[in-house]
Amino acid sequence: MRRFSFAFAALLGASLTSLPALAQNPAAAEALFEQARAAMAAGNYDIACARLRDSDRLDPAVGTRFNLADCEERRGRIATAWSLFRGVLAELPAEDDRRPIAEQRARALEPRLSYLTIQRAADTPPGAQLRLDGVELGEGSLGVALPLDPGAHEVVLVAGGQEERRTVSLAEAQRTDFPLRFTPPPAEETTSAQDGSARRTAGYIVGSVGAAGALTGLIAGVVTLGKKSTANDHCDDARRVCDQTGHDANESGKTFGMVSGVGFGVAVIGLATGAYLLLTAPSGRAPVAVSSAKPGSVTVNPQLSWATGTGFLGLSGSF
């Protein structure tokens, strides 16, 4: 019979949670017990434990809970099995030959127990409500090492109309402290977004300066070429002599040539710096691979040289 039989090959277990009372049905309970033994023999521990729990609901028996404890241990629910063995030990009379077995099994499980201690912290919200695996815990549970089965456990904190769900994973024999507080917002991401915005703004400004320098250099270069043409028409290179028009064109050309060179220098530095700031600014999106050489790109290589025989400042470049 279920109440007095005990076989190591057919020992099964139960849950830590309270089981609601149902109308007793000993015949159905006996059938479920036998089916649980068969499932246990086949290694189907989840099915075996479920049938044992149902059997104990229909006809509570210490022998069923003894088997239930073994079943829970076999499927890795260490704390559940430990609690059930201790419960069985409390129910059995002193002369029962199952007492030393239950006591030995409970002691063997103690070093393998996992514990979660939920701690009240300085920033614990007032009036906070706590649920652990769907079960509401009171103030008295805080600061106590609670034995739990290995695996994932859900901790729910409710306070001030805010609810947060967090998962705590425990390994066998692990002890973990859990502060009762809401998770602070990710400050690093906020700072990163602000830094990215500032870098992009700086990149646009510096790039605009570079673009203005390029435009200035281009206009001054065109003027320089015009002055060079005028100087060639009014100067004799062989005698190194120029009339007044050629002299004025030569002097103006030097000035515009210098402006053109400075403009292109500012363009190269400004555009390169602006591009660097824009491409390295954190954006929160997937990084985009940027190639340093693309088909159809323009490469500007400003060069300054003196015109032969006139000391004229010229401009050359490759596009």
Q: Is 61 buried (19+), middle (13-18) or exposed (0-12) by CB count in 10 A?
A: buried
Region 278-286: what's the mean pLDDT? 63
Condensed to tens digits (0 to 9), the pLDDT of residues 94-131 reads 999 999 999 999 999 999 999 999 999 888 888 899 99
pLDDT for position 6 = 35
CATH 3.90.1150.10 fits 8-112, yes or no: no
pLDDT for position 7 = 33
Condensed to tens digits (0 to 9), the pLDDT of residues 2-30 reads 543 333 332 333 333 344 445 689 999 99
Which CATH code fits 114-180?
2.60.40.10
Beta bridge partners of 241: 236
Q: What is the pTM of this model?
A: 0.55
pLDDT for position 109 = 97
Q: Is 190 buried (19+), middle (13-18) or exposed (0-12) by CB count in 10 A?
A: exposed
Condensed to tens digits (0 to 9), the pLDDT of residues 182-223 reads 887 766 555 556 677 777 787 678 668 767 767 776 786 777
Region 129-139: what's the mean pLDDT? 94
